[in-house]
Amino acid sequence: MIDLPLVARGKVREIYDASSQAGPDRLLLVASDRISAYDHVLPTPIPDKGRVLTQLSVWWFEQLTPVLESFGATHHLVSATDVPAEAAGRGMLVRRLEMLPVECVARGYLSGSGTKEYDATGSIRDVALPPGLVEGSQLPAPVFTPSTKAELGEHDEAIDFAAVEAAVGAARAAELRDLTLALYGRATEIAAQVGLILADTKFEFGLAPDGGLVLGDEVLTPDSSRYWPAESWSPGAAQPSYDKQFVRDWLTSPASGWDRVSTPPELPDDVVAATRERYVTAYELLTGRRFD
């Protein structure tokens, strides 16, 4: 148990006030092994998931620092080592921010909810796309498709760019779009070097006391991103992936018997093991490090 005041509890993380131990405006962000899908926190944890999410985020913050600096921005990570023993490997000491009310989503490929909206309208909100695309298609260029930031148990909703401008102002909205696409572009280059396609991802940003833009939350983990093996990429169907799509697919299969309304069922041991393997594999491929 972590002996700090609990500030908030999300689907996967707890946030603690660390100011008494680490100085003013410091928070401790701790990733659990919980996994969520379809706006539900599932009853079965995935072993080591919290450690993978934290350690991969720390690695990505390091990789993306040059891009952030080119925009005059920073990230919120202070330390992943100066944390309580109970949070070792799973905790990050971070700066307290004024978080912006927008999920900044970048897509380079058509997948998931983007495919559903495209099939119905030919676009994703106000982003028009060419005809003839299918699940897994690469887009002509990466696109910014923001969404709302839903409360626990609620669903993120795609919004158009005008809604972002209304929420944060025109200049800040343009900054969010441009930085999101720049971060995604650099991340896709890094992923491609190890044979991975980064199909899409989401970023969250906050403001420092001086108004500067700060990349927060987690970044480019299998919880917030779709990673596909490049060698097996084949548009027209769902792609093999190193993320929680495996859990989503089981939940919607006849094997689960779940109606998407009632409490989700426990995950079978084989689904748990296969999901853990996917998270660990993503970490090891991207970082070149062995997950211990």
Q: CB of 30 within 8 A of CB of 87?
A: yes
- Take residue 37 and report the two structure tokens written for it: 């899908």
CA gap 243, 145 in Å, rounded: 20
Q: Check if the beta carbon of residue 159 is closer than 8 Å to that of residue 146.
A: yes
> Would you call 62 helix, strand, or coil by DSSP?
helix
Query: Residue with structure tokens 């500030």?
Result: 7
DSSP assignment, residue 38? T
Edge-to-edge strands of the sheet including 26-31?
Answer: 6-9, 13-17, 26-31, 91-95, 77-79
Q: How far is CA 230 from CA 21, 180, 185, 199, 282, in A?
A: 45, 22, 16, 10, 13
- Delineate the domains of the chain, giving CATH numbers in brackets: 6-95 (3.30.200.20), 98-250 (3.30.470.20)
- DSSP conformational letter for 129: -
Q: What is the pLDDT of residue 75?
A: 98
Strand (E) or helix (H) holding 226: strand 225-229
Q: What is the pLDDT along the chain (292 residues), one digit of tens a residue?
A: 799 999 999 999 999 999 999 899 999 999 999 999 988 999 999 999 999 999 999 999 999 999 999 999 999 999 999 999 999 999 999 999 999 999 999 999 999 999 999 999 999 999 999 999 999 999 999 999 999 976 654 567 899 999 999 999 999 999 999 999 999 999 999 999 999 999 999 999 999 999 999 999 999 999 999 999 999 999 999 999 998 889 999 999 999 999 988 999 999 999 999 999 999 999 999 999 999 7
